[in-house]
Amino acid sequence: MRVTQSRSSGLDLNLLLALDVLLEESSVSAAAARLHLSEPAMSRTLGRIRKALGDPVLVRAGRSMVPTPHALSLQGEVRSVVERARALFLTGGEVDLRTLERTFTVLAHDSFAATFGATLFQRMAEEAPGVRLRFLSESHVDVPALREGVADLEVGVIDNRSPEVCVEHLFDERMLGVVRPGHPLLRGPLTARRFAAGEHLIVSRRGRLEGPVDAALAEQGLSRRVVGSIGSYPASLFVLRETDLIGLIATRTVRQAEALGLVTFEVPLELPTLPFAWHPRHDADPAHAWLRARARALVPS
């Protein structure tokens, strides 16, 4: 996308596109490659942006560059303006996927990337070879990533969202117990009391030490001992493989547990299903609509 200079203000609106790419890449050379410019030309553009904003925008931090606080505060608004401009200049709401050059950022739990990432990258290579996909892990704090332009799409358990964000239900997930082979829990009938009597490991990006399992146990007058929490399901599987701890895993990620030789089992409790959803930031954007369609296709009902 290229837009013309505004005669009334003297502002070259192409600086917004360059600023968007510079903040995304945090690199003059990478931004130059994205915009098909030479590095000296990109450096001059950065100089013009710095002069226009009265801010360094990108500063050296060791061998890399990082955005200034002021630049970060502008990133969401800049991204929004650039995306609206793209949509404005698209003809008939269509996009040529074969020539599309775009970077999409997806905020998702690492288990989603581990399970569906390979298929999604393969679809991109076949349908839109110029598109790049960047997965970001969920943060330990809740931030309005979509509203601030940090992510284009969010996939996962959506428990905190801005009211203006669009949400579509994708699928319901069920949790299974997971332990090492030969675990004492696998010997004999699996009851809620025996399940509660073991030591448990929780997966929580916020470091929580309790969850829906504890609520379900409390309804039966039971409690369990949680020895700790870990931030990702794949990491938890390696811990479970070497200990007698009891964990949980989503049904769609069972193959990860099986690949490590772990054993899964039905939890003898009534646990709520986990609703997964995506948050489209630009619902009318044809390129974003293509990405959402690919996300839907990953998890057929």
Listed by start position, the domains of the chain span 1-89, 175-272
Q: The domain 1-89 is classified under which CATH number: 3.40.50.300, 1.10.10.10, 3.30.420.40, 3.40.190.100? A: 1.10.10.10
Q: What is the pLDDT of residue 164?
A: 61
What is the mean predicted confidence (pLDDT) over 238-245?
97
Residue appearing with tokens 């916020």:
206
- Residue 175, pLDDT > 60, answer yes
- Residue 199, pLDDT > 90, answer yes
With CA atoms as reference, report the closest residue to 216 among 234, 196, 230, 241: 196
| Fold entry, domain 175-272 | D-Maltodextrin-Binding Protein; domain 2 (3.40.190)
By three-state DSSP, how is residue 268 classified?
Answer: coil
Q: What is the pLDDT of residue 226?
A: 97
By three-state DSSP, how is residue 28 classified?
Answer: helix
With CA atoms as reference, report the closest residue to 48 among 62, 34, 37, 64: 37
Q: Which of the residue ranges 48-52, 97-101, 131-135, 141-145 would you say has the lowest mean pLDDT? A: 141-145
Q: What is the pLDDT of residue 6?
A: 41
Do 1-89 and 175-272 come out as alike in CATH topology? no
Predicted confidence (pLDDT) per residue in 11-57, tens digit = 577 888 899 889 888 899 989 988 888 999 999 999 999 999 999 99
Report percent pLDDT > 70 for the chain.
81
Predicted confidence (pLDDT) per residue in 65-117, tens digit = 999 999 888 887 888 788 777 766 665 567 788 888 888 888 887 777 888 88
User: How is residue 276 written in tokens?
Assistant: 């997964």
Higher pLDDT: 225 or 275? It is 225
User: How is residue 136 written in tokens?
Assistant: 């970001």
Q: Note the pTM of the prediction, 2 decimals.
A: 0.63
